[in-house]
Structure 1
Amino acid sequence: MQALRINVVLFGIGSVGSALINQVTESQQFFQEKRNIDLRFPIITNSTLAFFEKEGVKNIWEADFNKLAIPFTITDIIAFVKNKELENVIIVDATESAELVKSYIPLIQNGFNIVAANQSANILHIDFYKDIRRNLKKFDKNFLYETNIRAGIPVLQIISDLYYSGEKITKIRGVFSDSLSYIFNRFSSENVPFSTILNDAEKKGLLKKDFKEEFSGIGIARKLLVLARELGKEIEFLDIKIESLLTKDFEMPNVKSKFLSKAAVLDKDLEITKILQPINHVLRYVAEISIPENRFEVKLVSEPITSAIGQLKETETVFEIYTQSRGNNPIVVHGDNSGKKETTIARGILTDVLKVSEKIKIKEAIWL
């Protein structure tokens, strides 16, 4: 049987998008032989230019893009797909663009499935969030976004499986940030100033470019919002109570080097917090959803060292999923954040692309 052609339209050729293309190229034969799927990239774009190629990406795609890419609009993308009669089309959004997300609904209406690392579609106003779902249902299309939460571990898949099996999820809590996990794991176990650990984290490449959102709790709150809506909670970002790690009188610089040079002002308060903990407790920066109490929080907590959250090491992350039937014995999902982040995210995107491809295969078989 001939392999099913899947046409991937890739938005974003930064480190993640490029890693995705390389992973598909390296595994192309495997996908064809073992999964009967032929993944192709007829369109590749950056923020302003698009490279259109009917036969998909070859090993010289970067050179082709630099030489042949042209300015484009979403209308151009839709027109090209229709003119070339491309079927089984999956949009991959490997950008951080809020503007691109505004085109999701017309893309769905024109027959495109979507896989997104971009979080924007799931954290904008709830009306937009619901409108996307209405159109997905109406046009029978798929939208997967596992890497919105944590690349490399299927948190959303586990939650979705539990939710749609009728299992009542009562609470989700955990450490969602690998960089803050590293920082508080060390701070809790070593007699070292908080600011010193921050500088060590920067040397290890753990402080993200959006470090302001990380330390203010905003980045983690966005992940919590995605999870809460996945559980059917129609909340907005402002419904989340965020306890920033920064003191009120600490003005957050925009430049990372300036932030690190000023970070010593945080040392005293955090050291006092650590000292005042109960014995055999450690500090962790957690996100928590409590369904019965309708409570959504990001906060610094003192955690027993024997708990799943208290036992974290290095850059590990963890999600505790509590259900009605399991009571106080949560499902614990650990994240191992070793390896290059962009490679892990790309692999997560590819996993979602393959899931959508399998759904398309099943639909094709039913039609036949």
Structure 2
Amino acid sequence: MKVLKFGGTSVGSAQNIKKVIAILQKESLSSPIVCVVSAVGGITDKLLEAGELAKQKNKSYITVFEKIKTIHFKVIEGLTNNPKSILKEVDATFENLKQLLNGIYLINELSPKTSDKLVSYGELLSSFIIAKVMEDLNLNTVLKNSQELIVTNTNFTKAEVNYDITNKNIIDYFNKANQLITILPGFVAKSQSGETTTLGRGGSDFTAAIIAAALKVEQLEIWTDVSGMYTTNPKLVKQAYPIANLSYQEAMELSHFGAKVLYPPTVQPVLNLAIPIHIKNTLHPEAFGTVISNHKKENHLTVKGISHIDNVALLTLEGSGMVGIPGFSKRLFETLANEKINIIFITQASSEHSICFGIDVNNAEQAEQAINNAFEYEISLHKINPIIVEKDLSIIALIGDNMKSHQGISGKLFSTLGKNNINVRAIAQGASEKNISAVINQSDVKKALNCLHERFFEVNTKQLNVFITGIGNVGEKLIDQIKQQHNFLKKNLKLDVKIVGMSNSRKMIFNPNGIDLNNWTEPFHHADKSSIEGFYQKVIELNLRNSIFVDVTANKDVASVYKNYLKQSVAVVACNKIACSDTFANYKNLQDLSLKYNAPFLYETNVGAGLPIINTLNNLVASGDKVISIQAVLSGSLNFVFNNFSDKKNFHDTVKQAQFEGYTEPDPRIDLSGIDVARKILILARENGIPMEIEDITNDSFLTEANLNSDSVDDFYDTLINDEAHFQKLYASAKANKCQLKYVAEYKNGKAKVGLQEVPEGHPFYNLEGKDNIVMFYTQRYPEQPLIVKGAGAGADVTASGLFADIIRIGNK
């Protein structure tokens, strides 16, 4: 014999009930079936709502009653082509229900006893409907009222079972029963005096467990709307998956911490007899589900599941007067017990200076008042402080029998949370080490579950959530590169890079599941208006794990918000060099924030686009080498200009070409004035540990006063035409000296300068072509032959690749 229980969702519609009937038909081929059913989904709540409205003299209880009736009639009509006979009997039941509600309305009272009678209609109706439909299908089915089998006391709304009488009733009945399928309403029972009672929360599970234990069946099956107990909440973590096997202890822990599939107290009868529980999905009966038993299955996972409880209040009782004084804990917990407040989390400092515990937030004010009253005398003497109450919290818990024999689980838990800026308010771990619990802000639950699930269950695949501001040439190239390399990174580096936010100067779009990179331009047509602050607020609101903000602009205002991102543990990747070339105090502050909040701040593309210049310098310094001097051509745009400018091609047209091909900023004055190169050598000096300011750098500009004082880009180009003779003179001088014109940056002995130089033949800079950059590091280890980094230093592709490399570097951290 098998016992199967079907929950509210499983019998929540005609379509689902048909699936239940199909499952019962199949299961009954091998053995007799006992089927326990819940009320149609949502009906119990509606019955209670109608009762409460009637009690309050609110005539809208009739509207709720009619909704309940309509739902059941719709189910019946969807189940059979001849609903009249069923509807007639059901209508009589509804007439009784209506009279009960009218009585509650008239006497203005809803006692626990009446409440039990009211809610019992849910299960009685669903079981009757299912049994009648199965009889009409000529299935060997009998409806048996559980109230004739399960006997309880009169503790209404949560009655206690008299097992001696109940077990005898069950055994006697089923010893004589000949039917293949027995339908039983869950949740309902009767007292010894014949009054309707109910079994409390999870009552239908309880009914099934009582029957299964009395009959000592081989297995109890609980059919629900999910395919077993999941590694974590699948509504919050898409990668969650069903756990094939769990011990009773693991299942109890997961259920206590929010897994709604199972309510531990209700299955206690089968636990005592070690009867396995198989959780199955009515909507997908072919899925294996979860088997809960004492049988130990070999499993490589040390953590079996991650669960959570929301709406937690954390209360702290502390004070120096508690130290070494016995009795404080006893008085505290007695006070809560007297108020019938359940404690779901507790921890105490070894100093005995404080006790911290978690309760349902709905009980917080009641607990606060009761405790302050209980310790009023000690509080008045300042021996202890008034109780501290913190709300908007949740508890997350790692669950697993095998955690005890594996070191480092707690370390992985807390380091993962810390890296994602999830603050832990309190910690609890039992000596059995089956459960490690932590209290966190409720707003961080989704991020916490996702990053922990990634850490413990997802074959070390790490998801990076990227937010890009600046969708110009470089931004578009970066998007293309991420799209192109997505599968490669996931397969080879275990990195799942998703762009979840984009913005340009006009619009911004977001998709926490990842923007479709095959059609990312389309959503911009209907997107929200962009703003720097609005983009930042959305990033924080989404609160995604491993978030990376990428700045692909040259905007000062965007650079000014880096600090805000870093404070929220959001990594920052920037090709915008304004932040790192701002005041040294701001530069240092960003470095400090990066360390403090464990948020990487990478800006390799600030110098040399995609060339590993900053990374090379950092490695030299970190390894103990000392940089003596740096000589560099750091402007790909200027190198392109002076490689293409000649006595046969004027300077104006050369600069125009450089801008057209994307080698200069939109405002070419930034490049040609030398300020861009000055910023780059400043950043290298700072990376070498020198607290230098931009004003400390000597800038020997080759531009004329008219060029430098131009009012606009168009005006600037006009001055280039007017001053062509000046530029031809520079070219002629270099040609006469058999030199090449190069804009050179130099750093030595704590000083730096930038300017146009005539580079002689044989110098490493002489043959530097196109838009290439070159940097020569003279160090203690490279005193005569410098360490040289050389390559393309400008262009959308290489700049995007440098940004992409920084993103990957963060992912590999």
TM-score for the superposition, normalised by structure 1: 0.86
Q: Counterpart in 1 of 2:528?
A: 69
Q: Counterpart in 2 of 1:355?
A: 809
CA offset digits 1:251-275 (Å, max 9, x no partner): 6543254133223231464256436
**Shift in alpha-carbon separation, 1:257–1:106, aligned structure 2, 3 A:** closer
CA offset digits 1:254-302 (Å, max 9, x no partner): 325413322323146425643674xx54332201001x2x221012223
- Report the structure number with the largest CA radius of gyration: 2
Greater mean alpha carbon deviation, residues 13-22 or residues 71-80: 71-80
Within a 5 Å distance, the mapping from 1:40-189 to structure 2 comes to: 40-58=498-516, 59-72=518-531, 74=533, 77-78=536-537, 81-82=540-541, 84-185=542-643
Structure 1 residue 336: Cα displacement: 2.8
Unpaired segments ≥5 residues, structure 1 = 360-368
The SS at the match of 2:812 is helix
Q: Distance in 2 between matches of 1:126 and 1:80?
A: 28
CA contact (8 A) 2:701 2:755 kept: yes
Q: Counterpart in 1 of 2:450?
A: none
Greater mean alpha carbon deviation, residues 234-243 or residues 35-44: 35-44
Residue type at the aligned position of 2:592: R
Pair 1:303 & 2:759 matched: yes
Within a 5 Å distance, the mapping from 1:1-368 to structure 2 comes to: 1=459, 3-58=461-516, 59-72=518-531, 74=533, 77-78=536-537, 81-82=540-541, 84-185=542-643, 192-193=646-647, 196-203=650-657, 205=660, 208=664, 209-248=666-705, 253=710, 254=712, 255=714, 256-267=716-727, 269-271=729-731, 273-274=733-734, 277=737, 280-290=738-748, 292=749, 294-336=750-792, 341-359=795-813
The SS at the match of 1:8 is strand
CA contact (8 A) 2:469 2:552 kept: yes
CA contact (8 A) 1:320 1:331 kept: yes
CA offset digits 1:227-272 (Å, max 9, x no partner): 1111111111110001010244666543254133223231464256
Q: Distance in 1 between matches of 2:758 and 2:769?
A: 16
Q: Distance in 2 between matches of 1:200 and 1:106?
A: 41
Residue type at the aligned position of 1:18: E
**Shift in alpha-carbon separation, 1:80–1:242, aligned structure 2, 3 A:** closer
Q: Distance in 2 between matches of 1:262 and 1:285?
A: 22
CA RMSD of aligned residues (A): 2.4
Greater mean alpha carbon deviation, residues 28-37 or residues 84-93: 84-93
Q: Distance in 2 between matches of 1:106 and 1:335?
A: 34
The SS at the match of 1:56 is coil
CA offset digits 1:38-86 (Å, max 9, x no partner): 111222222353212121110222111221334456366446545x441
CA offset digits 1:291-341 (Å, max 9, x no partner): x2x221012223231121122233322111111222121111111358xx2
**Shift in alpha-carbon separation, 1:79–1:303, aligned structure 2, 3 A:** closer
Structure 1 residue 145: Cα displacement: 0.5
CA contact (8 A) 2:489 2:496 kept: yes
Greater mean alpha carbon deviation, residues 126-135 or residues 262-271: 262-271
**Shift in alpha-carbon separation, 1:333–1:66, aligned structure 2, 3 A:** same
**Shift in alpha-carbon separation, 1:55–1:120, aligned structure 2, 3 A:** same
Q: Distance in 2 between matches of 1:354 and 1:347?
A: 10
Residue type at the aligned position of 1:64: P
The SS at the match of 2:778 is strand
Q: Distance in 2 between matches of 1:262 and 1:348?
A: 38
Unpaired segments ≥5 residues, structure 2 = 1-458
Structure 1 residue 163: Cα displacement: 0.9
Larger relative CO (CA 8 A, sep 6+): 1 or 2? 1
Q: Distance in 2 between matches of 1:174 and 1:243?
A: 15
Greater mean alpha carbon deviation, residues 30-39 or residues 84-93: 84-93
The SS at the match of 1:122 is coil
Identity %: 27
**Shift in alpha-carbon separation, 1:217–1:49, aligned structure 2, 3 A:** same
For this pair of structures, how many residues does the alignment match?
348
CA contact (8 A) 1:93 1:117 kept: yes
TM-score for the superposition, normalised by structure 2: 0.41
CA contact (8 A) 2:540 2:568 kept: no
Residue type at the aligned position of 2:638: L
The SS at the match of 1:260 is helix
Q: Distance in 2 between matches of 1:14 and 1:49?
A: 13
